[in-house]
Structure formats: C-alpha cells, structure tokens
Amino acid sequence: MLDNLGNRFQEIFKKVRGNGVLNESNIKDALKEVRLALLEADVNYKVVKEFVGKVKEKAVGETVLKGINPAQQFIKIVHDELVELLGGTNARLTKANKPPTIIMLAGLQGAGKTTFAAKLAKFLKKKGEKPYLVGADIYRPAAMKQLQVLGESIGVGVFTIEGSQDAVKICEEGITKSKEEHATYIILDTAGRLHIDENLMDELKEIKKMARPQEILLVVDAMTGQDAVNVASKFNETLNIDGVVVTKLDGDARGGAALSIKAVSGKPIKFIGVGEKLEDIELFHPDRLASRILGMGDVVSLVEKA
Amino acid sequence: FRSVSKDGLFGKIKTLFSGRSIIDEEMYEELEDLLIQSDIGMDMTLKIVKKLEEKVKELKIKEPEKVYDILKEVMKEFLIREDTELKLDRKGLNVILVVGVNGVGKTTTIGKLASKFVKEGKKVVIGAGDTFRAAAIEQLEEWAKRANAEIIKHSQGADPGAVVFDTLKAAENREADIAIIDTAGRLHNKNNLMVELEKINKIIKKHLGEGVFYESLLVIDGTTGQNGLTQAKVFNEVTDLTGFVVTKLDGTAKGGIIFSVSEEIKKPIKFIGVGEGIEDLRKFNVDEYINAIFE
Ligand SMILES: Nc1nc2c(ncn2[C@@H]2O[C@H](COP(=O)(O)OP(=O)(O)OP(=O)(O)O)[C@@H](O)[C@H]2O)c(=O)[nH]1
Ligand SMILES: Nc1nc2c(ncn2[C@@H]2O[C@H](COP(=O)(O)OP(=O)(O)OP(=O)(O)O)[C@@H](O)[C@H]2O)c(=O)[nH]1
Ligand SMILES: [Mg+2]
Ligand SMILES: [Mg+2]
C-alpha cells in the first residue's frame, strides 16, 4: 500500500521528461490521485478541495529538474505544501511569566485526554518541572480514580474531589492546592463531551474563565473521520484553543483529521500520542505526518536526497 | 471551511434533489461529495451512486425529487437486515464478548447491555477482562452496580485469560443467563494484543464446547473515519465477529463507515449508542437509521 501513490504518479508522468513542464493537462490525473489519497486519509472534503487547488497553483508551470523525474518533483510539491499546512509557527507550550503554567485539556469522549494529561506530566517532570494533575471529570465512572492511578505511577500529585458535582470548583481548589505544593505546571483534565452539548461546552467556558490557562489543548483521536472539522471549529469557537494533541497515532489510521483540524482552527499541533504507556508521547513533526497522510514514507526521502 | 452545516450532511441531500429540475451528471457528482463527507468513503460512495444511477435508469425516473427515495432504498440494501438481534436463546450460559480499539465505548456499552438484560429478568455476570487500563476495573464495577449485575474481577495487571475463565466458571455456578466480557481497548495493528484476544476466544470456546455459538461484538466509534473498515476486517479475522455496536451517534457524525463495514464483512449492526447514560442504547433498525441520517 505504502508506495502505491508514488507508483501511480510514475505511471501518470511517464510522458513528461526532463526539461518538460508541468501543466494543467499533465498534472490533471495526478491531482485526482492526490484528492483520492487525502480523502482516504480522512482529510475533510472541503479541506481537500482547497488543498488540491493550492497544489495545482504551485505545480503548473514548474520546469522538471534534471536528475529527478516529474513524478518525484510533483510528490515533492504536494509533500511540501502539506508540511506547510500542518506545520505551526509556534508548536511550543506557552509558559506563564510566573509559574505555575496552567494547561487545560478538552475534547470528545474517549479521545485520550486523561492518558495525555499523565503523559504530559511525565514529560514535564523529566524536564525538571514540578507538574500537578487536577481531575475535573465529574461524569465518567472512575474517571478520577483513573487519573489518581496514573499520577501515582509517575509520582505526580493529583487533586480531585471525589463525588463533587462542580467541575469549576475542583479546578479552583486544585489550582490553590497545586500552588501550595509549588507546582510549576498544573494540568486540568476535563470530562469528554460532544461539541454540540451546550451545557457541557458552557462548563468548559466557566473553567477557562476561572483558571485563565496559558494553554488550552484540544485532544483528538487520529482515527476521527470527516466530522473532525465540526468538532474543532466548535471547540475553538467556544474556547479559543491554543493547540492540538493527536492521539493513537500508533495505529494505522492515516490521521488526515489532523490536517482538517489545523485547517479549520489554524492552531498548531503540539504533541502526538503513540501508545497507551505514559512514555508514548512525542513532539509533533509535520513532515512525518505529511508522509503518513499521503501514505508514502520512502518516496519523499528519495526526493529529498535527489 | 467554517461553513460546514450543523444540520448534518445528510440533511443537505434532500435539498440537493429538491433544488434542481433535471437529473444530470452534476447531480450525481454533488451527491458523491455529500456521501464522502459522511465518512462513507470513496469506494463505497461510488458503489452507492452507481447502483442509484442504474435504478434511476431502470425505473425511467425523470424527476430529481423522486431520486431521494430511491437513494434511501439503495443505501438500505447495503446494510444487513438478518440477525440484528442478539442470539441469547441457549439453555444455560450465553456469552457476549465485547472488543474494539481504545476508547470507543466498550465498557459503557456493556453497562447499558447488562442493565437492559437485568431489566428483562435475566441474571447477568460481567467479566472485567480489561486488566490493563488504569481504573478500567473500577469503571466497570460502577457500571455493574448501576445495572444490578454481578462482576468478576482480578487486580490490575492480571492475566485477562484467567479473568475470562473465572467469569465463565462463576457465571455457570450461579446459573447466570448471560456473561458479558469486557476487554482492554487494543489497536488492531498490535500483534501481541491481537494474540491475547485469540487466547481469550480459545478459553471461551474450550469452556462452552467447540462449535457452541457466542456473541462477539465489535464496538465502533461513530465518529471514526476510514480506519473503521480496517478495524472491522482485522478484528473479524481474529475473533469471528457476530456483529457490531456503533457508539456516539448522539454527536453530529452519523457513522457512515458502517456502509463499507457491512458491505465488506456482511454482518449486522446490533445496537447503537446514543449517549453516556445507562438507557442510551438502541436496537439497530435499518429503516430508522436511514431515516435518521437523512433527516
Ligand atoms: N493506542 C493508544 N491508545 C491510547 C492513546 N492515548 C490514549 N489511549 C487509550 O485510549 C483510551 C481512552 O483514553 P482516555 O485517556 O481514557 O480518554 P479520555 O479522553 O480521557 O476519555 P473520557 O474521559 O472518557 O472522555 C484508553 O484505552 C487509553 O489507554 C494513544 O496514543 N495510543
Ligand atoms: N456521547 C457518547 N459517549 C459515549 C457513548 N458510549 C460511550 N461514550 C463515552 O466514551 C468514553 C469512552 O467510553 P468507554 O466505555 O470507557 O470506552 P472503552 O471502549 O471501554 O475504552 P477503553 O477501555 O479505554 O478502550 C466515555 O467517556 C463514555 O462515557 C455514546 O454512545 N455516546
Ligand atoms: Mg478522561
Ligand atoms: Mg473499557
């Protein structure tokens, strides 16, 4: 499967040779393949349309370089454009002028927020920071317990109020407690919710208003389909998020939803989750995800070398 | 991109047909676009549209508005109508194994199912086969309590196979009607975890006797894109599924991936999840589902 797209491009560009020029007619089929590949990768339909338009604009009129074939050149154009779309200017976590830095997590049910909260705590702890976890999921059975178990396993403090009905209050008291403990980072884990659930979206707004976090991260499952755009725009509208975390990239989903989310929200992807264990967290690399979305790792590095 | 409708993409299908006077290539292309936007996938979309075109020609339909109802019929035909009910009529213990990738809603669905059976007067035992995820056991315990079902558990980190064995044994000792087994979420490309699932199946088979039927349900998140098909294929190879549960259909995603899953695996969807509450489980009904997504 992996190199299929590459092979198809080779086939398509057979007639174009060195010093030939890419034009509308000879890239037409190639653009169709790109469209298909992106749709198969779950990139939102409208995002695909816009993207293909951009690639066309970039490719038409390019002279094929000596030494590489037109297929490779076209791939490079597509790939570079994808990297640019995926890449953010600032993928770092914002730090508070004076510690603690408060990071708030939000997202749909089961996306991987609680796991990521613990992963991030572990990641920060390794860097010499003192993170603290606050569990504000008052709905899901044993959600607080889950965070406690995870916190304990990495030696990070966890604050929750068992049986509480008030997520905002948990966050408020959690922040106070974390400050007493001289935490440098406070991570707020919230309950999973649907973007169309007005009450629960309001709860997030309230938490934000009270906590005034430096970072609000939207946690998204890499397997999400076309609806990712609706989810991202609604969370972004409600919270004005600062970044995105894409989880479960250890699976074989191509992860096109990430591109959709970046496109609709304009917010950078900051971390990825690559497993269930707490060390399975990585900084985001746009070039790797670009190759993955296209379903071709090797072809690109080949071009890079040429 | 911000203009994506909140009314759901299928809602636009009606306007697509009612807002035009002739049936032409453009209409079909627009339909394709709408279907793709609901996670139906390229291959499946082309299949649906091709079938639709054939039917429209065959029936000599000239009014776009009439195409709407035919599309509904065509799409219905791709879903499986047989065995959408769970088969739990075995004298003695009936077993339901619940599997799926991480976070799709397995444990929650088990809680809902258990509650439903208990209300129907059945004796239900739940097995806490997820010994991996933090507080997975406590989560299931809470659901068992809500449902008034019994739970069999070991401690975190224990061998899930042993939990399954003990669950079946305990269920039989207590003359339970139904045993439902929760499993840890696992991505289908993790070989070791799929082997573990194979073992669990072997234990069930050995216990029930070779050839004795049990339900093996794959839970699919309704917001899943094209990966849902791969999930279905691989899980079906390892556990020989008897059906699917599609969760989180209370959101705006409508689970379009189930068309290619049904087409490929030819097994029924048995339930859908429409919320986080204990009552938020519906029997899957092809007609209702199609009507709901076309609303
Ligand atoms: N394979 C894999 N599994 C993950 C990853 N991140 C989280 N998970 C798993 O996904 C499932 C859900 O994770 P949680 O952290 O509970 O998700 P959540 O968003 O907090 O869920 P809710 O609180 O119910 O909304 C668990 O089984 C996790 O182990 C990842 O990067 N890879
Ligand atoms: N909105 C909605 N949420 C659901 C539905 N079913 C489950 N959930 C939520 O999805 C999240 C994950 O559900 P779980 O039952 O823990 O999923 P799981 O498959 O057991 O997860 P792992 O064991 O971690 O793999 C929880 O927050 C549930 O409340 C549903 O039908 N609708
Ligand atoms: Mg959680
Ligand atoms: Mg579970």
pTM as predicted: 0.95
DSSP chain B: -TT--TT-TTHHHHHHHHT-SS--HHHHHHHHHHHHTTT--HHHHHHHHHHHHHHHHHTT---HHHHHHHHHHHHHHTS--TT-S-----SS-EEEEEE-STTSSHHHHHHHHHHHHHHTT--EEEEEE--SSTTHHHHHHHHHHHHT-EEE---TTS-HHHHHHHHHHHHHHTT-SEEEEEE----TT-HHHHHHHHHHHHHHHHHH-TT---EEEEEEETTB-THHHHHHHHHHHHH---EEEEE-TTSS---THHHHHHHHH---EEEEE-SSSTT-EEE--HHHHHHHHH-
Give yes or no for residue A127 having a pLDDT over 90.
yes
Q: How far is the CA of B256 from the centre of ligand 2 (A)?
A: 19
Chain A residue closest in CA terms to B132 = A276
User: Given this model, what pLDDT does residue B143 score?
Assistant: 98
CA dist A190 and A213 (Å) reads 13
Q: Is the pLDDT of residue A1 over 50?
A: no
Q: Which one of B99, B104, B108 would you pick to mutate in the ligand 2 pocket, going by the greatest count of ligand atoms within 8 A of its CB?
A: B108
Q: Atom of ligand 2 at shortest distance to CA of B274?
A: 31
Closest CA of chain B from A195, distance in Å: 8
Whether the CB of A274 is below 8 Å from some CB of chain B: the reply is: no
What amino acid occupies position B266?
K
Q: Where do we find the tokens 């007619």?
A: A25
**SS3 sequence of B158-176:** CCHHHHHHHHHHHHHHCCC
The confidence band for A52, taking pLDDT boundaries of 50, 70 and 90, is very high
Ligand 1 atom showing the smallest separation from residue B136 Cα: 27
Beta strands at A185-190 and A215-221: parallel, antiparallel or unpaired:
unpaired
Nearest CA in chain B to A115: B134
Beta carbons of A109 and B37 less than 8 Å apart: no
Phi, psi dihedrals of residue B182, rounded to the nearest 5°: -85, 145
Residue A119 touches partner B, C-beta closer than 8 Å: no
Low-confidence winner among A21-25, A130-134, A286-290, A295-299 (lowest mean pLDDT): A295-299
The answer to whether the CB of B93 falls within 8 A of the CB of B177 is yes
CA distance B213 to chain A (A): 31
What CA–CA distance (Å, rounded) separates A179 from A159? 12
Give residue for tokens 């259909």: B249
Query: Are the beta carbons of B227 and A230 separated by less than 8 Å?
Result: no
What residues contact A10, with CB distance under 8 A and at least 6 apart?
A: A69, A71
Cα(A220)–Cα(B224) distance, rounded to whole angstroms? 11
Interface test with B, best of A115, A119, A226, A247 (most B CBs within 10 A): A226
**Alpha-carbon span B29 to B51, nearest angstrom:** 14
Percent of chain A whose predicted confidence (pLDDT) is above 90: 74
Ligand 2 center to B246 CA (angstroms):
11
State the helix-helix crossing angle for B64-77 and B286-294, rounded to 10 degrees.
140
Question: Chain A to chain B, count of Cβ pairs less than 8 Å apart?
Answer: 154
Model pLDDT, residue A8: 74
* Per-residue pLDDT tens digits of chain B, which is 295 residues long: 223 334 555 667 888 888 888 999 999 999 999 899 999 999 999 999 999 999 999 999 999 999 999 999 999 999 999 999 999 999 999 999 999 999 999 999 999 999 999 999 999 999 999 999 999 999 999 999 999 999 999 999 999 999 999 999 999 999 999 999 999 999 999 999 999 999 999 999 999 998 999 999 999 999 999 999 999 999 999 999 999 999 999 998 889 999 999 999 999 999 999 999 999 999 999 998 888 777 7
pLDDT digits (tens, 9 = 90+) for A204-246: 999 999 999 999 999 999 999 999 999 999 999 999 999 999 9
Q: Which residues surround ligand 3, an ion (CB under 5 A)?
A: A 113-114
ipTM: 0.96
Sequence-separated (6 or more) residues with CB below 8 Å from residue A95: A101, A214
With an 8 Å Cβ cutoff, are B103 and A224 in contact?
no
CA B253 to chain centre: 14
Q: Which atom of ligand 1 is nearest to the CA of B185?
A: 27
Answer whether A229 touches B (CB < 8 Å). yes
Between chains, do A223 and B132 touch, taking CB under 8 Å as contact?
A: no
The number of beta carbons lying within 10 Å of the beta carbon of residue A216 is: 24
Q: Which of residues 131-190 of A touch B (CB under 8 A)?
A: 139-143, 145-146, 148-150, 153
**Spacing, Cα A289 to ligand 1 middle (Å):** 20
Sign of the dihedral defined by the CA atoms of residues B205, B209, B212, B214, in that order: negative
Identify the pLDDT of residue B15. Answer: 84
Joined tokens for residue B100? 């799926």
Least CB–CB distance from B227: residue in A112, A223, A229: A223
Ligand (nearest to CA of A144): 3
Mutual angle of helices A198-211 and A167-180, in 10-degree steps = 20
CA B156 – ligand 4 centroid, Å: 13
Decide: B227 and B255 in contact? Cβ < 8 Å. no
Distance of CA A111 from the midpoint of ligand 2 (Å) = 9
